[in-house]
Chains A and B, each alone.
Chain A
Amino acid sequence: MTQRGPSGLLGAYDSGGFFCEVFGGPQHPATHTTTVRERLDGLSLAELRRRAQAAERELYNLGVTFTVYTSREQIDRILPFDVIPRVLSAAEWDTIERGVIQRVTALNRFIEDVYHEQKILREGIVPADLVLGNANYRPQMRGLKVPFGNYVNICGVDIVRGGDGRFCVLEDNARTPSGVSYVVENRHLTQRAFPDLMRNIGVRSVSNYGQRLIGKLTELASGIGADPCVVLLSPGVYNSAYFEHVFLAREMGVPLVEGRDLIVRDDRVFMKTTRGLQRVNVVYRRIDDDFLDPEAFNPTSMLGVRGLMRAYRLGNVVLANAVGTGISDDKAVYAYVPRIIRYYLDEEAILPNVETHICREAEGLAYTLANLEELVVKPVGESGGYGILIGPHASRKALAEFRHKLRADPGNYISQPVVQLSVCPTVTRSGIEPRHVDLRPFAVTGRSTWVLPGGLTRVALRKGSLIVNSSQGGGSKDTWVLE
């Protein structure tokens, strides 16, 4: 028996005053989700749970997992999957897509400038020491040309939506962003588990990501030859994102190699095959700069390839992403991105930043210290949600301790107001409840930029939590972009 209307599955749902991805906000009720809401309403909670469990078991069997290592054993975990999709209208997506393309374009222009003329630094738009003194600045990249001047070939832009329903950018991921495999796997899962929910709704496809990616990577090697050899370089099975590396290699149909499979001879890169050495032209590397080449960077790295940077500098191999892109997604540089966009493109940011206070500046530090209980404070060098202080949720003791840390090393921190992240109806133990979400669209750039429609919606599964990272109790949702 199915129940409909206010007594249906979503009947008791209350978004708690937050902007809701399915219901909209008080000023902007979402009209594009009517069909989805009606169909969800027709399902019972028990039925939804049954299908959700089956879906999660399938993820485990398929090995769509990340591996956690303890001293005793290895545990395969799935990224928890919530079956209620997050639905974006065509108009919403248009804004995001244009905003992401604009941002990636500006970041690429910025990196090219920094490694060549440094005009933006000389003109004082971005403080030179912030960039040149950054741990991710790579002097080895000075004067090196990369294909089409595009350094960030794969970019993940973390976007959140505030109480007013406006999208803004929380963070850029311009080094080796991960998560795209979940976008595709989540969609395949929804298609299998909820064909009735998707029927006759035009949802833009995400399953051609691999083809698009290999197309763009091949584009980067257009100077090299007709049929370039592209490989995906992974740290190996022990890396927590190994499943994604497998996924991408398979979707592209390219060899998944580790550092030990590659060798540099005469400043050219080869892979070791049963038939001897085979020339490699493009490396989509999922290894950080630091570990890429023990000769050029961290000398103790066992993951990289000795001599890779020499081959790279001579133009004998293309690396994607380019080396040294970490200067553009630094949390301190982030604050300057709207100015970077204005400087290179003479445009206003389509997707604004979250208001950011830079603690290395006296004004920013003073403001942060005075309003600590209202702010989110982030260390600039960390990722994965570690080391973050969320003022309104912190104890008095934690606030006092953080004040010490801030004063001791202000340059290490930025602060932002708490963004009231939008919510999405989510299956919880106590029924359908709102949980906070963000969105990471993926942009792929060769000659030009293409954005995968949708992206990874991460959901903070703990009630009230704003932290969506998988390492901190986050899950994910399928993200629908309507035609």
Chain B
Amino acid sequence: MNNLLARHAESIFWLARQVERANSTARILDVNETFSRNARGEHDWESVLRLYGDESNFRATGRKPTADAVLHFYILDDHNPNSVLSNVRMARENARALRPLISTEMWVQLNGFHSRLTRLRRPDLKVENLNRLCSYIKESCQTHSGITAETLYRDESWYFHQLGRAIERADQTTRLVDVKYQVLLPQPSDVGSPIDEAQWNTVLRSAAGFHAFRRVNPQSMSPSKVVEFLVFDRRFPRSVAASVLVANEHLGELRLKYGHTARRAASGLLRKLAASLAEDTATDLIARGLHEGLDEIQAELGGVTDALGREFFLLAETDEGAPSAGERPA
């Protein structure tokens, strides 16, 4: 069998990330919509912009950060590379380049998902329709994962897909936790108030973790418990720690099975991150500054992505070794 083209490895890694990002964006918008209804009548949609560092990009649209404008920006604006539409479009473009590798069913589903998004109009984005729309986006992203699990041949390309999804999910969960802090931190007095609890409740639900959290913590809903659950609980599939572990395992297997043991940088960084997550606790993280701590994790995940690029995706361009070394692959 032929080796995986470096370009295809990169494409499938990003395909998975883009779908996962669309998934998380839908979750974050859904959460924020609930916040903006509850928080003392203040409709703060700027927190989402701050979360993604999109303040200046949004200002360039010339619109006020109203619910309508921000929702359009994050769902349908094809000039915004972070919008759901942009992510799904890029995922579909990657899928098109990957069609010789992926299953027809994966392609058909992404193609249909994209085509439905392009048919959405402004009324579909109205706040009263938002929950339904976000559910559709989440389900479509999960359908992608399911079809991938059931149909994608498990060679190298599958590993890069899993890696991409896990790394993106870890990154996005840090942002989901952060969105809550962006909204609430200015008023520390609210900690433990009914509004506070309702909002943590919503964060958990948006990550599909509410009931699991309740089972683990039937007694309390403290911020540190929620952070513990979303960042550190290895049994919760969307937690940062669980995602980093999944990424670490898959990269380990990939290196072993496909003769990449000499490529150590990305896996070294991932292992380090996994270890520090295993040692850390929510209490310590909050004490050190939650926002800064989450930022650090995001930066480390960025470092892993860069290392993967250098080690796997751009390999052939930098590899000046004798061609004979690769001529007879193991």
**Across-interface contacts of A268 in B (CB, < 8 A):** 323
A-contact bits for B259-271, CB 8 A (1 contact / 0 none): 1100000000000
Of the residues B6, B9, B99, B315, contact of A63 by C-beta under 8 Å = B99
Task: Tell me the dominant secondary structure on chain A's binding face.
Answer: mixed
Measured CB to CB, the nearest residue on chain A to B263 is A274
When the two chains form their complex, are residues B2 and A229 in contact, meaning their CB atoms are under 8 A apart? yes
Task: List chain A positions with a Cβ less than 8 A from chain B.
Answer: 61-63, 229, 236-237, 242, 246, 249-250, 254-258, 260-261, 263, 265-266, 268, 270-279
Within 8 A of A (CB), among B286-330: 312-313, 315-317, 319, 321, 323, 325-327, 329-330
Given contacts A63-B107, A256-B100, A270-B326, 20 further A-B contacts (CB under 8 A): A61-B108, A63-B99, A254-B2, A261-B6, A265-B323, A266-B323, A270-B327, A271-B5, A273-B4, A273-B326, A275-B4, A275-B258, A275-B260, A275-B330, A276-B319, A276-B326, A277-B325, A278-B2, A278-B327, A278-B329
The 5 A-B pairs at the shortest CB distance, nearest first, are namely A272-B316, A276-B326, A273-B3, A277-B326, A256-B100
When the two chains form their complex, are residues B97 and A237 in contact, meaning their CB atoms are under 8 A apart? yes
**Across-interface contacts of B317 in A (CB, < 8 A):** 272
Q: 28 A-B pairs, CB-CB below 8 angstroms?
A: A61-B111, A63-B96, A229-B2, A246-B99, A250-B100, A256-B99, A256-B100, A257-B5, A260-B7, A270-B327, A273-B4, A274-B6, A274-B9, A274-B258, A274-B260, A274-B313, A274-B315, A275-B3, A275-B259, A275-B326, A275-B329, A276-B316, A277-B323, A277-B325, A278-B2, A278-B3, A278-B327, A279-B326
Q: How far is it, in angstroms, between the C-alpha of A261 and the C-alpha of B6 when the chains are bound? A: 8
Q: Is B156 an interface residue (CB 8 A)?
A: yes
When the two chains form their complex, are residues A250 and B99 in contact, meaning their CB atoms are under 8 A apart? yes
Within 8 A of A (CB), among B25-41: none
Task: Tell me the dominant secondary structure on chain B's binding face.
Answer: helix
Q: How far is it, in angstroms, between the C-alpha of A279 and the C-alpha of B325 when the chains are bound? A: 10
Q: Is B104 an interface residue (CB 8 A)?
A: yes
Q: How many residues of B contact A (CB 8 A)?
A: 34
**Across-interface contacts of A278 in B (CB, < 8 A):** 2-3, 326-327, 329
Task: List chain B positions with a Cβ less than 8 A from chain A.
Answer: 2-7, 9, 93, 96-97, 99-100, 104, 107-108, 111-112, 156, 258-260, 312-313, 315-317, 319, 321, 323, 325-327, 329-330
**Across-interface contacts of B326 in A (CB, < 8 A):** 270, 273, 275-279
Q: Number of residue pairs across A and B with beta carbons under 8 Å? A: 99
**Across-interface contacts of B112 in A (CB, < 8 A):** 61
**Known: A63-B107, A275-B329, A278-B3. Contact between A270 and B258, CB under 8 A?**
no
Q: Which of A250, A263, A278 has the most CB of B within 10 A?
A: A278
**A30 to nearest B CB, angstroms?**
36
**B94 to nearest A CB, angstroms?**
10
**Across-interface contacts of A62 in B (CB, < 8 A):** 104, 107-108
